[in-house]
């Protein structure tokens, strides 16, 4: 903390305030004169100009005040805060299994400054002597069978030090497993632990139990305890062009592969595309991991700005353990059009280029991302013969002779959200594959020659998770055709006696892999 000199700060502020008052007094006088002049011009019928008044200056902090506010003010020693800190440390040690931990503080003061020391006597830690489930004893339905089935993966082991943070992680693990087994309405707050330390010092007997669902009987005004139920998926309703701004919209219905598609006016995406990304199906038990996977796969399509998935009890059936899945998909814009232009400079060659890009994220209603681009450019270049001779008199000048090089390059690309070729069902394990295909044509007309280049490339990309991406690049093929070579250019190439260079200016095919 930077303690400034109060007397010096007061003296500096007095001087700054006096200077500020003088400046504001001048500005005030200027403003009054301008107001009077405006009134005079208005009475005389002169053209009234826009009134511009000077703003009053505000005081700023001096250097001492800036330094003083840069640090943290000193704390006054308070014994009640020391006791509160002791209790917090003791509580932390208790949660980590040190039930008999003792915490005390010691204060050493010198020159109006105090240093506080905290001394911790951990004593012996309490370890888990036994761990039992009380679920079956309290009649919680069939949920105990699923908890017993995942007991092998338990994070709690006999002999380990008692740790409340570890118990919370175990609650998370059990909750995840139960929600993946059909218990949709279950959460970790239903799990609680009890422990007994009376048997022996340093040993703890741990018991885990589950609360039943509490509901109120409106007639008898009593609390009813209901065992947790396992739910199945009854129906899945997908609203493909949902719009939250429209009240009470009218939908048309289409059933595809046991999925109900609801849409307004027209279906904006093929049902097969969404069907492949629904990892949970009607008739299956609710599985929260499959629901999250379906949400991610729908998001990866890039077609929806809002995806809302909800589950509710299916009131259209007599089965009380059946859920209705409602998936609301609010589409985003799928078509874009972009135009760009730039000036270029390559060495001494100046030029201009421009591009037009048309993209569609839902081509053929199959979530295929298609893009067509056209890039063109003009550039002023010397011929290879002129560059070699370094003839300054041949510099290009004038608009007519400047742009002697023309380049036009159309390109088409597709991103397909699936495998283009699938040879085995083992590839079904991967949840988010997509295939990229691109073809391009490049036309170059230069003073020395004219060249055509046709290229084709592709790749298959598999996104396992954000940290692991598999990419398989296809072989890349390029066809090059050269014609209209100038005699000077051919003579120069032949004169170099370089067969590799000469071959690069002939018709050829290039194939490459990586």
**Gyration radius of the chain's alpha carbons:** 39
pLDDT for 336 equals 95
| Predicted pLDDT of residue 330 | 95
Backbone angles phi, psi at 338, to 5 degrees: -130, 140
C-alpha span between 247 and 251 (Å, rounded): 12
The fold for domain 232-331 equals Ubiquitin-like (UB roll) (3.10.20)
Residue of 449, 373, 448 whose CA lies nearest to 411: 373
Q: Taking each helix axis from N to C terminus, what angle separates 288-300 and 164-179, rounded to the nearest 10 degrees?
A: 80
pTM over the 0.85 mark: no
Q: What is the CATH number of domain 127-226?
A: 3.10.20
Does residue 184 contact residue 311 with C-beta atoms inside 8 Å?
Answer: yes
- pLDDT for res 63: 82
Structure tokens at 94: 């208790």
Distance CA 287, CA 298 (A): 17
**pLDDT mean for each 10 residues of the chain (514 residues):** 76 91 92 84 66 85 79 80 94 96 93 91 95 76 87 94 96 96 95 92 94 84 88 96 90 96 93 94 96 93 95 89 96 94 82 95 95 94 59 43 85 92 62 89 93 95 77 92 90 86 89 82
Rounded CA separation 446/382 (Å) = 9
Round to whole Å and give the CA distance between 278 and 235.
12
Nearest to 138 by CA among 191, 73, 101, 180: 191
Q: How many CA atoms lie within 13 A of 286 on its CB side?
A: 26
Task: Evaluate whether 118 touches 202 at the Cβ level (below 8 Å).
Answer: no
pLDDT given for residue 381 in this prediction: 78
Tokens of 31: 């403003």
What pLDDT score does 317 carry?
85
Q: Are 420 and 460 in contact (CB under 8 A)?
A: yes
Residue 374 host element (H or E):
strand 368-379
> What contacts 379, CB < 8 A, 6 or more positions away?
344, 346, 349, 350, 351, 352, 403, 404, 405, 407
């Amino acid at each position: 903390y930077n303690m400034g000199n109060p007397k010096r700060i007061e003296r500096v502020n007095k001087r700054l305030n006096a200077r500020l008052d003088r400046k504001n007094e001048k500005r005030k006088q200027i403003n009054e004169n301008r107001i009077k002049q405006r009134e005079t011009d208005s009475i005389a019928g002169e053209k009234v100009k826009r009134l511009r008044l000077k703003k009053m200056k505000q005081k700023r902090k001096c250097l001492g005040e800036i330094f003083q506010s840069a640090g943290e003010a000193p704390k006054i020693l308070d014994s009640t805060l020391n006791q509160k800190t002791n209790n917090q440390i003791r509580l932390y040690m208790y949660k980590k299994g040190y039930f008999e931990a003792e915490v005390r503080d010691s204060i050493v003061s010198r020159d109006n400054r105090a240093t506080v020391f905290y001394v911790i006597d951990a004593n012996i830690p309490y370890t888990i002597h036994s761990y039992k489930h009380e679920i079956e004893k309290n009649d919680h339905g069939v949920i105990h069978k699923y908890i017993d089935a995942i007991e092998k993966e338990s994070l709690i082991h006999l002999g380990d030090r008692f740790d409340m943070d570890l118990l919370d992680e175990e609650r998370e693990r059990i909750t995840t497993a139960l929600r993946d087994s059909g218990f949709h309405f279950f959460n970790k707050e239903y799990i609680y632990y009890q422990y007994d330390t009376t048997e022996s010092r340093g040993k703890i007997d741990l018991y885990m139990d589950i609360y039943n669902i509490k509901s109120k009987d409106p007639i008898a005004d009593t609390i009813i305890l209901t065992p947790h139920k396992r739910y199945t998926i009854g129906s899945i309703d997908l609203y493909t062009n949902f719009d939250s701004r429209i009240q009470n919209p009218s939908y048309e219905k289409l059933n595809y592969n046991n999925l109900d598609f609801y849409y307004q006016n027209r279906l904006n995406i093929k049902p097969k595309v969404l069907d492949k990304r629904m990892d949970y199906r009607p008739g299956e038990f609710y599985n929260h991991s499959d629901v999250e996977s379906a949400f991610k796969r729908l998001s990866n399509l890039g077609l929806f700005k809002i995806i809302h998935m909800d589950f509710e009890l299916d009131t259209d059936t007599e089965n009380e353990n059946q859920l209705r899945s409602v998936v609301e998909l609010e589409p985003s814009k799928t078509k874009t059009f972009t135009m760009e232009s730039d000036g270029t400079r390559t060495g001494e060659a100046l030029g201009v280029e421009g591009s037009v890009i048309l993209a569609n994220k839902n081509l053929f209603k199959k979530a295929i991302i298609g893009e067509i681009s056209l890039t063109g450019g003009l550039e002023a270049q010397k011929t290879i013969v002129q560059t070699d001779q370094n003839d300054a008199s041949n510099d290009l000048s004038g608009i007519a002779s400047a742009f002697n090089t023309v380049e036009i390059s159309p390109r088409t690309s597709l991103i397909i959200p699936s495998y283009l070729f699938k040879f085995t069902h083992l590839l079904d394990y991967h949840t988010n594959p997509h295939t990229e295909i691109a073809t391009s044509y490049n036309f170059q007309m230069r003073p020395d020659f004219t060249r055509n280049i046709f290229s084709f490339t592709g790749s298959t990309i598999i996104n396992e998770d954000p940290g692991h991406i598999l990419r398989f690049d296809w072989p890349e093929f390029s066809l090059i055709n050269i014609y209209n070579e100038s005699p000077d250019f051919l003579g120069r190439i032949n004169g170099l006696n370089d067969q590799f260079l000469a071959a690069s200016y002939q018709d050829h095919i290039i194939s490459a892999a990586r």
